[in-house]
Amino acid sequence: MDNSGPIWISAGEASGDLHAASLLGALRSIDPGLQALGMGGPALTAAGCDVRFPMRLISLVGLTEVLSGLPRILKLLGQVKRALIETKPRALILIDCPDFHFRVARMAKKLGIPVYYYVSPQVWAWRSGRVEFLRRFTRRVLCILPFEKDFFAARGMGVDYVGHPLMDQMPLGALDALQPDPNLLGLLPGSRRKEVSALLPEFARTALLLRREFPNLRVAMARAPGLDPEYLRSFLPPELTTTMPVEIFEPEDRYRMMRLSRVLLAASGTVTLEAALIGTPTVMSYRFSALSYAIGKMVVRVKFGSLPNLILDREVFPELIQDKAKAEFFAARLRPWLADDAALAAARADLAGLRAKVGGPGAAGRTATIILNDLASQGL
């Protein structure tokens, strides 16, 4: 391997795909001739990466889903190993998705390829023993959440805190200039079909319940990449669509929808941090398979499931999961924000300090500099 070789970048979900694309842009701003290949989605492809494996191949959530997809994952890992041997990348940059990427890191180590982990896996939530794995099989870990550096330091491992890439990807200045619609309820039912089928029917029923009390209420929904608008509409009951048109925003316009909404109802994930940075009060929800949830209750060690709550260390966004992921519970938590402008203003004020905690723009640039400098120190 030498410094003319490509860099392998691997992302396994929509948010990671965006982070990977931003990072590739930052890498090329320092090294314009840099070649990249790997695994990702439309954003990484558009950024000029030779995507050998589409990220949908590992789009699994929960233990039972991972188990059912295991034969396919094992086959994919074999294909990735062959590709690494053939292409001889000078480095691997892995983004989140630890259940898959830890296996890739292990094979890369055996092949003598340095591994950089960008967007640290959430070992602080469960399976903290994975810290030792990261120590053994990665050269550097680059964290994007402020509390992660202290977590790793307490376990004797140094990491780089680079700030959150969302601060580069989100046009916060332009969004701040938009005035929220006092009658708009925004729905964010997830990026995977399992999420949508589990949550969107209850989200729609929530809108129906609230419309009885707030007759001027309107509904908007953001479409995730890969989900057809008609697929989303199939979960909306006729009594909703005939009484109030539901506007579906395209993926690239979702931030505008989130800012224009008075309140949001969202599936768990990066979208909750996006909503908090935008400043829109949000109710978060999720449903797991029964087995995944039972195991999760035993092993997960954090108080909250959404990033804004974890970063601020208090519940600024209500979290309704599993048996509480129902319209009646959603409506009860959204109702005060819809009925009372003072309650809404207080909720927005609660989010005001989050941007400072997350850090300023430049995460991708800082990450690119750290990785390229470290490679240069190895002569790679």
Based on the domain organization, do 368 and 342 belong to the same domain? Answer: no
Based on the domain organization, do 210 and 125 belong to the same domain? Answer: no
- Give me the number of domains the chain comprises: 2
What does pLDDT average to over the chain?
A: 89
- pLDDT for position 291: 56
Output the domain CATH number for residue 296: 3.40.50.2000
Q: How confident is the model at residue 1 (pLDDT cuts 50, 70, 90)?
A: very low
Is 168 within the bounds of a domain?
no
Name residues whose C-beta falls within 8 Å of residue 214's C-beta, 6 or more positions apart in sequence: 183, 338, 339
Is 264 within the bounds of a domain?
yes
Based on the domain organization, do 222 and 290 belong to the same domain? Answer: yes
Print the domain residue range for 112.
7-163+362-377
- pLDDT for position 293: 46
Is 2 within the bounds of a domain?
no
Top pLDDT among 147 and 79 is at 79
- pLDDT for position 274: 95
- How far is the C-alpha of 261 from the C-alpha of 283, rounded, in Å? 13
* The dihedral sign for the CA sequence 94, 113, 140, 98: positive
Based on the domain organization, do 144 and 178 belong to the same domain? Answer: no
Given a cut of 90, whether residue 327 has pLDDT beyond it is yes
Based on the domain organization, do 351 and 259 belong to the same domain? Answer: yes
87 class by beta-carbon count within 10 Å (0-12 exposed, 13-18 middle, 19+ buried): middle
Is 336 within the bounds of a domain?
yes
- pLDDT for position 81: 96
For 149-262, strand residue ranges (E) read 160-161, 184-188, 218-222, 246-249
Based on the domain organization, do 209 and 343 belong to the same domain? Answer: yes
Q: Find residue 50's DSSP bridge partners.
A: 37
Taking Cα atoms as reference points, which of 129, 119, 126, 117 lies closest to residue 155? 129
3-state helix, strand, coil in the chain (%, to 5): 50, 15, 35
Given a cut of 50, whether residue 64 has pLDDT beyond it is no
Based on the domain organization, do 191 and 239 belong to the same domain? Answer: yes
CA 12 to chain CA centroid, nearest Å? 10
- pLDDT for position 380: 82
* Range with top average pLDDT, 26-40, 112-126, 309-323: 26-40
Per residue in 160-213, pLDDT (tens digit) is 999 999 998 899 999 999 999 999 999 999 988 888 999 999 999 999 999 999
Based on the domain organization, do 207 and 351 belong to the same domain? Answer: yes
Q: Which helix (H) or strand (E) holds 94?
A: strand 91-95
- How far is the C-alpha of 137 from the C-alpha of 121, rounded, in Å? 14
Given a cut of 80, whether residue 355 has pLDDT beyond it is yes
pTM: 0.80
Per residue in 236-295, pLDDT (tens digit) is 998 888 877 899 999 999 999 999 999 999 998 889 999 999 999 999 998 765 555 454
Top pLDDT among 340 and 313 is at 340
Based on the domain organization, do 257 and 332 belong to the same domain? Answer: yes
Is 1 within the bounds of a domain?
no
